[in-house]
Amino acid sequence: MTVLVFGRTGQVARALAVLCPEAVFLGREAADLRDPSACAAAIRARRPHAVINAAAWTAVDDAETHEAEALVINGEAPAAMARACAALAIPLVHISTDYVFAGGGDAPWRPGDPVAPCNAYGRTKRAGEVGIIAAGGTFGILRTSWVFSATGGNFLKTMLRLSDTRDRLNVVGDQIGGPTPAVAIAAACLTMAETLRARPDLSGIYHLSGAPDVSWAGFAREIFAQAGRAVTVEDIPSRAYPQPVRRPANSRLDCSGLTQAFGIARPDWRAEVGRILNELGAVT
């Protein structure tokens, strides 16, 4: 199976490069998502067996002041990819986010639950979902949350950096979700792409997040415990940690549909934390 991947330097794209080195990876210089027509042209020119979109505008705060640009990258470009894939009768797997939901309550969000993005980033990602569905082709939209890996910027690496100089940290304790290893997302995308080639009837929206659900503060404690770092984590409410935009309080995701359709179970994020810490040489 020839796979065309949009994205090259992000966390999921790098994980895909390890799992599927034979895939063709398009960075910004080859297919800039700010030019949706160029993305569609890249698909038509290469005619792969499947496409995975692992590229996106992920700067949540900046999206508030650059929503029009983020909308092109997160909304219009994926829609253009989907139309090109539909014309070639090949599947598109696209990574989305829990931010399409309002973030209230404490029940895990199901794929069919009403969406109500609480910020510009969520609105632009939802626009991408709508555009992909409207294209009428074979697709798999994979919503996920709290992505982490040994590469790029993420919560795990931020906690390690802060613990180099501090032995006490205040971390938000009232936002709950499932930290998700980038490698698990990459593996899921590959499985979905291959399965959808034979089973286009499985097209739809699915969820993947790590288990068990935890707060950011709880996530931090596990990181420090496995790293052997004596850092005290103090839970604080979201209101005590002002940010430019609102984050969902409830990022729990119901992932049962992904398991039923593709046999993909929720990964244990704690095991991946240990593997990454060892890879980074961060265990004391």
Cβ burial, residue 149 (10 Å; 0-12/13-18/19+): buried
- DSSP element (H, E) containing 16: helix 11-19
Residue at token pair 């794209």: 13
Provide the 10 A C-beta neighbour count for residue 96: 23
Instruction: State how beta strands 147-148 and 180-181 pair.
Output: parallel
Question: Which residues, in sequence order, are CB contacts of 283 under 8 Å at separation 6+?
Answer: 226, 227, 228, 277
Residue at token pair 């991946």: 272
The catalytic position among 99, 121, 206, 241 is 121
Which residues are 93's β-sheet partners?
52, 140
CA angle 60, 62, 63 (to 5 degrees): 65
* Residue 121 annotated among the catalytic residues of the structure: yes
Catalytic residue IDs: 121
